[in-house]
Structure 1
Amino acid sequence: MLSNAATPLYVLWRRELGFSAGMLTVIFACYIVGLVAALAVAGVASDRIGRKPVVLPALGLAIVASVLFATASSVLVLVVARLLAGVAVGSVISAGMAAVTDVAGSQRRRLAALLASAAIVVGAGVGPLLAGILSESVPGPTVTVFLIEVALLVLAVLVVWRMPLPGPTGSRTGAWIRIPSVPRPQRGELLLGIAVFLPGLASTSYVLSLGPSLLADVLGTTSRIVSGATTFVTFAAATAVQFSVQRLRIRAILLMSAISVVAAMAVLVAAVYASSAMLLVVAAILAGTGHGLGQLGGVTLITSSISDDRLAEANAALNIGVYLPAGLLSVALGYLSDAVGLSTATTVFGATIVIAALLGATFAVAHRRTAN
């Protein structure tokens, strides 16, 4: 929830603190920086020392980030809050998803992948919806949602503390800080997961970073509830589609992800030039569908082929390969929109993501081990 709770509130902070769309995407990308930095350490550490020693400190950082968001009075505070949120979420993505697999057991790995992946997108969608509603209905529009977040994080600490998790499973040899990787025989699965998940994540990153600006500047909609709801439907679609396709073969899931992303970008560009909020919502739903399918396919490839002693590191490798380029694309889009306008920048972005999605689909067709 913390990862996207700030999304509908950036309009307020931009008004109060006076920063550009380019700076907005930099603030957004600081989350990616923190997330990637955490992934470079958390996956290996989790496999070596256990899940709890990684997840519990991450939840503590998330509490600190929530307090900073609630009291933010400068761009620097927002940057630090986003950075800490990224570190916290990066640690949970690698160690927390592996913990779900540990609890599920070896016979239910695919179910574990589904539940872990769905939990991420549910939280990612609920956070901005709650923030949008509370910011227009209660005092303290940029405060209340983060107070609720702190309470939920405290509850999460108690839950994780009591989880029946096994001890460390990985080797204690080798560097602790390194680029996460997987055994050579499984690198094809990792690369395929990145190739298909990346376009879906990048498309939803647009909704998160510049969606509110698009609603306000191009479509003339300033409601933070609409902004939060648009983000919510994005991730609601990502959640629903994961449960609806759980019995399909992985290759079919990956190809459906690519098709959804291509459709999302076509509708997004149409929404900008037609100044249609309804088309933007449709684009958000399609982007969320592509994101959910790509994430599920990538995580399932990892959990079904990687042993327990490298599982958290493999999750970290998948997410670094996806979040880092997606963050760079978001920053480039923000500054491009400052230079040439949001409509032109959106068109360039959409064409780039379509090409990436088609390349991912081609990889999925060519890769022989994705049929199951």
Structure 2
Amino acid sequence: MEFVTTPKTNDAREPTSPHTRRWMLLAAWPVIAAMALSNEPAPLYVLWQDRLGFPDATLTLIYAGYFAGLLVSLSFSGTLSDRYGRRPVLLPGLAIGLVASVLFTVADSVALLGLARLLSGIAVGAALSAGMAAVSDLAPDGRKKLGGLVASTSMVTGAAVGPLLTGVLSRALPHPTVTVFVVQVVLLLVALAVVVRMPLRGREDSAVNGRLLRIPSVPAANRRALLVSLAVFAPAFTASGFVLSLGPSLLGRLLGGDDPLLSGGLISLLFAAATAVQFGVRGLRVPVQFRLGAGLTVVGMVALVAAVAADSVPLLLVAAVLAGCGQGSAQLGGLATLAAEVPSARLAEADSAFTAGGYLLAGGLPVVAGYLSDAVGLTAATAVFGVVVAVLAAAGALAAEVVRA
């Protein structure tokens, strides 16, 4: 077998080998394991509320802790990964995820629960920035689009696995707030073993300079690609976030009780749709993926508004599927664009910027909608939110068309 000698570069990939495709797929596991942790607690909050007796306002603060940890992590983990390599970021990130999982199992106070959620956000931020970049780094030569597909689907697959795992274990085993996170510890330990063995190179000659703690960005030549991708992805991601925040409580109200399996099933349905659609549209050009993502987001918001107005479970499920498909298509187009256009030496930071931009909008608008619902009612607030997100999605798709024209 003939090997080609390559010079030292900032690429985190070893010379091409027969195992490159296999390692690209294995590199997705740390992202899946970390993302499972991101949504596993959601169906269990009602159990913690009953046990610890905290109000909904405190629950909002616990959610905010996760977003704070995630955004802080994204602000430096991508830069660290591009400067020092993927492994030095992934290993401590996954270790923090292990600490968070253990804290969830022993959480007997709001403080411990909030700390666990904060640490889980930090772990997820590290896994998303360095982990998705590692997947792209290990993509076979000339298959950057495939790397973008695997990176994108690993994110939403993990988000689907977590709540489904929680729902099933809550029904099958006692003490779900313990057993769920014991299983999560095992998932993270396997992820650590994968990271230790991944054929990733360090960044001895890194061209990434400047402060480590900064707003994630991309080279000037790639900023247009990032902004166009965010213009389509952020509204789609926000639509999914609102369905996730509203869905379980609405489902419980309509069905007359809270059930972790039903709540977890709704969340998993959304992310399963987001995963499946990416395989369906992977052969389409990026502009078509963007248009499809925006269109599905608009229709999904129409379905959500109708579901709330009519108190309809079937329409809620339709809204979840449409929102997931919209996010999946827009996310794939955005990550594929970044993987193809941004140099590998800045790819993790670009992924961080992309993810942080989506989370900023997804974390902000639903909070505003929550306060609005207290003032004008859930139906009116959902209608306002749906119109705003639909307009943003359509505007993003139009901007993408204009820029690419």
For residue 306 of structure 1, what is the aligned residue in structure 2? Answer: 342
Does residue 1:14 correspond to 2:45, yes or no? no
Q: Shift of residue 187 of structure 1?
A: 0.9
Higher mean C-alpha deviation, range 70-79 or range 282-291:
70-79
For residue 373 of structure 2, what is the aligned residue in structure 1? Answer: 337
Q: Shift of residue 218 of structure 1?
A: 4.8
What SS does structure 1 have at the residue aligned with 2:218? coil
Q: Do the aligned partners of residues 326 and 334 (structure 1) sit closer, same or farther apart at CA in structure 2, a change above 3 Å counting?
A: same
1:161 to 196, 204, 217: 196
Higher mean C-alpha deviation, range 151-160 or range 98-107:
98-107
For residue 242 of structure 1, what is the aligned residue in structure 2? Answer: 278
For each residue in 1:43-87, what CA deviation from the matched residue of structure 2 results, as whole angstroms up to 9, or x when unmatched?
110011111000000000111111122222232222211111111
Does residue 1:72 correspond to 2:116, yes or no? no
2:74 to 39, 51, 57: 39
Q: Shift of residue 137 of structure 1?
A: 2.5
2:220 to 175, 178, 184: 184
Q: Shift of residue 132 of structure 1?
A: 1.1
Q: Shift of residue 22 of structure 1?
A: 4.2
Larger RCO, structures 1/2 (Cα 8 Å, 6+ apart): 1
Does residue 1:88 correspond to 2:127, yes or no? no
Spell out the pairing of 1:92-103 with structure 2 (5 A cutoff).
92-103=127-138
**For the aligned residues, what is the CA RMSD?**
1.7
Higher mean C-alpha deviation, range 281-290 or range 268-277:
268-277
For each residue in 1:270-317, what CA deviation from the matched residue of structure 2 results, as whole angstroms up to 9, or x when unmatched?
111111111111100001001111111110111110111111111111
For residue 115 of structure 1, what is the aligned residue in structure 2? Answer: 150
Q: Which runs of 5+ in 1 are unaligned?
A: none
Distance 1:80 1:302 in 2: 33
For residue 128 of structure 1, what is the aligned residue in structure 2? Answer: 163
Higher mean C-alpha deviation, range 43-52 or range 178-187:
178-187
Does residue 1:321 correspond to 2:357, yes or no? yes
> Does the Cα contact within 8 Å between 1:179 and 1:317 map onto a contact in 2?
yes
> Does the Cα contact within 8 Å between 2:208 and 2:345 map onto a contact in 1?
no
Q: Shift of residue 14 of structure 1?
A: 2.7
Percentage of matched positions with identical amino acids: 51
For each residue in 1:66-113, what CA deviation from the matched residue of structure 2 results, as whole angstroms up to 9, or x when unmatched?
112222223222221111111111111111111111111441111011
Q: Do the aligned partners of residues 57 and 18 (structure 1) sit closer, same or farther apart at CA in structure 2, a change above 3 Å counting?
A: same
Q: Which runs of 5+ in 2 are unaligned?
A: 1-35
Distance 1:338 1:146 in 2: 34
For residue 64 of structure 2, what is the aligned residue in structure 1? Answer: 29
Q: Shift of residue 258 of structure 1?
A: 0.6
Q: Shift of residue 141 of structure 1?
A: 2.2
Amino acid at match of 1:207: V
Does residue 1:258 correspond to 2:294, yes or no? yes
Q: Shift of residue 20 of structure 1?
A: 4.1
Amino acid at match of 1:102: D
For residue 54 of structure 1, what is the aligned residue in structure 2? Answer: 89
Q: Do the aligned partners of residues 310 and 231 (structure 1) sit closer, same or farther apart at CA in structure 2, a change above 3 Å counting?
A: same
What SS does structure 2 have at the residue aligned with 1:143? helix
> Does the Cα contact within 8 Å between 1:271 and 1:280 map onto a contact in 2?
yes
Distance 1:29 1:347 in 2: 24
Q: Do the aligned partners of residues 22 and 343 (structure 1) sit closer, same or farther apart at CA in structure 2, a change above 3 Å counting?
A: farther
> Does the Cα contact within 8 Å between 1:33 and 1:324 map onto a contact in 2?
no
What SS does structure 2 have at the residue aligned with 1:107? coil
1:2 to 26, 37, 41: 37
Higher mean C-alpha deviation, range 259-268 or range 316-325:
316-325
For residue 197 of structure 1, what is the aligned residue in structure 2? Answer: 233
1:143 to 178, 181, 186: 178
Q: Do the aligned partners of residues 98 and 80 (structure 1) sit closer, same or farther apart at CA in structure 2, a change above 3 Å counting?
A: same
Number of residues of Structure 1 aligned to a counterpart in Structure 2:
369
> Does the Cα contact within 8 Å between 1:192 and 1:364 map onto a contact in 2?
yes
Higher mean C-alpha deviation, range 332-341 or range 9-18:
332-341
**TM-score of the superposed pair, with normalisation by structure 2:** 0.87
Q: Which one has the largest radius of gyration?
A: 2
For each residue in 1:189-222, what CA deviation from the matched residue of structure 2 results, as whole angstroms up to 9, or x when unmatched?
1011111111111122123333211212355352
> Does the Cα contact within 8 Å between 1:197 and 1:295 map onto a contact in 2?
yes
> Does the Cα contact within 8 Å between 2:300 and 2:318 map onto a contact in 1?
yes
Higher mean C-alpha deviation, range 13-22 or range 275-284:
13-22
For residue 210 of structure 1, what is the aligned residue in structure 2? Answer: 246
> Does the Cα contact within 8 Å between 1:52 and 1:160 map onto a contact in 2?
yes
For each residue in 1:310-355, what CA deviation from the matched residue of structure 2 results, as whole angstroms up to 9, or x when unmatched?
1111111111111122112232233333444433332222122111
Distance 1:254 1:220 in 2: 38
- 4+ residue runs of structure 1 moved beyond 6 angstroms? none
